[in-house]
Amino acid sequence: MTEIYDYIIVGGGTAGCVLANRLTASGKHRVALIEAGGDGQSHWVNVPAGFSKLLTNPRHNWRLISEPEEATMNRQIAIPKGKGLGGSTLINGMIYVRGQPQDFDGWAQRGCTGWGFDDVLPYFKKVEDYDEASGDLRARGGPLPLTKVQERPEIGRAFINAAKAAGHPENDDYNGASQDGFGYYQVNQKNGRRVSAAAAYLDPIRKRPNLAVLTGAQASRILLDGARAVGVELRQGGTIRQIHSKAEVILAAGAFHSPQLLELSGIGDPEVLRTAGVEVTHAAPGVGANYIDHYCTRMNWRVTQPVTLNEMTRGLSLVKSVLQYALTRKGILTYGTGLVHGFMRTRPDIEGPDVQLFFLHASYANAAERTLDKAPGMTIGVTQLRPESRGTVHIAAPGIDLAPVICPNFLSTPEDRRAMVDGMKLTREVVSQSPMDPFRGAELSPGEACQTDADWLQFARDNGQTIYHASGTCRMGADDASVVDPSLKVRGVTGLRVVDASIMPTIVSGNTQAAVFMIAEKGADLILSDAR
């Protein structure tokens, strides 16, 4: 029997959970949500500090990897991507950053009508339930609980004070009127537990009779009738079958898998498709191009007092922390990937911060695995907020089992290299201030021998990693090279949209999950408006 839905959503991650909620709310539309992973349930998902246990777990992580590239010393860089209902909100650091208003105004100036900051602000507010909300820019009552990190050790306050001593402001709400400055990160947690997109948007509505959630179901191609998308072919439990849509197929599979599925369906750059052995059904040269990500270096210092997570997560201290968390939902197990934020300008003539810092009183040798050092230490991640470098994500052969070929092209422009170098130098300057004297030990990485710009750049090339903010590979725009138009419809194909991070024309100035929630809320409104 033919399975027919009004809407088929491919991908049960952040955007997919939002869309499933909003498109089924009226009861008028029958919706299928397809997720290649499982239900996303795990003890480690709920415990914020458990993210480190999930970064290498193939049950919850696609474990993608980049191609070796000369600019990053021919290293293959690990690229975690969440797998299961909730997507990357199952395994990320829970840091919630909207970005700067000019990010979205820039989208509008590029021809993405309706995506300026004033247009998207209502959707950011629709998402959030921020427990310190005040004024016109923040909101309570949305599906996603937000709070500042609850544990605030003395070393974190010392770092904020050191930033102030170096001339940077303290900022109580970087999602408010201004992003500049230092303070405590906001996270999607409630009562000391992670709140994923699935927990916020999907779990409360799973019993709606007009919603079918298909897990372990991997879409292998979009079904086309001429230039119209009419359904999806998927594999579930070893069986290949087809489901059909009366209204739309909506790709919400993320910046790697949405372009991959388009290309496997013959929608993409004809040269790429022919090289991969896929028949061209619709020429769309922009598919898989414009890959943007945040590149991050991690500077480490030894700490002179036993006040860091390195020693708190061992032996009797860990036992006490586990008991504390079990009884109170407080303590070190509530930490994600950042304690204190820093948003800095590396030049006085730019409109907003161009570097972001992530301070945590913990240190590790490998960012992809995050096995903590035994001696006390601290880490500051340094990332450029608005990289100019652009990479690609393409298939190399037919078949959904083959991971896409990911070429980030990090550090390929002079501005990207300059901003990274200047950001690291400013970070060292902050740590050198007197408020850090009681805690600051030897600089381990890159170390005091790193002095010249050439030294700093080489450190970035040797050690930098992605911070998992992939975007841009199905770029939204008004020009012929864009993949989707401002209503998120795939150009030249009816009945097909993309609603996820891949539509970003440029990356937002900060962690991307907040923008993806917003994109999905706005995307749902666009879809429902057309339905009406």
Cα 228 to Cα 7, 244, 524, distances in angstroms: 14, 12, 20
Question: In sequence order, what DSSP letters do the residues of 92-109 get, joined into one string?
Answer: S--B-----HHHHHHHHH
Are residues 476 and 483 in contact, defined by beta-carbon separation less than 8 angstroms?
yes
Phi-psi region of 178 (alpha: psi -120 to 50; beta: other; left: phi over 0): beta
> How far lies 513's CA from each of 94, 468, 470, 501, in Å?
8, 10, 10, 8
Q: Which residues contact 129 (CB under 8 A, 6 or more apart)?
A: 139, 140, 141, 142, 143, 144, 145, 146
At residue 128, what are phi and psi to the nearest 5 degrees? -100, 150
| Cα–Cα distance, 153 to 378 (Å, whole number) | 13
Q: CB burial class (10 A; 0-12, 13-18, 19+) of residue 445?
A: middle
Here the tokens at position 496 are: 């097909």
Amino acid, single-letter form, for residue 463: N
Contacts 24+ apart (CB under 8 A), 455-458: 456/420, 456/421, 456/424, 456/425, 457/411, 457/417, 457/420, 457/421
Active site residue 469: yes
Radius of gyration from C-alpha coordinates of the chain? 22
The Cα–Cα gap between 197 and 9 comes to: 15
Q: Is 418 helix (H, G, I), strand (E, B) or coil?
A: helix
Number of H helices, E strands in the chain: 14, 25
Residues recognised as catalytic:
469
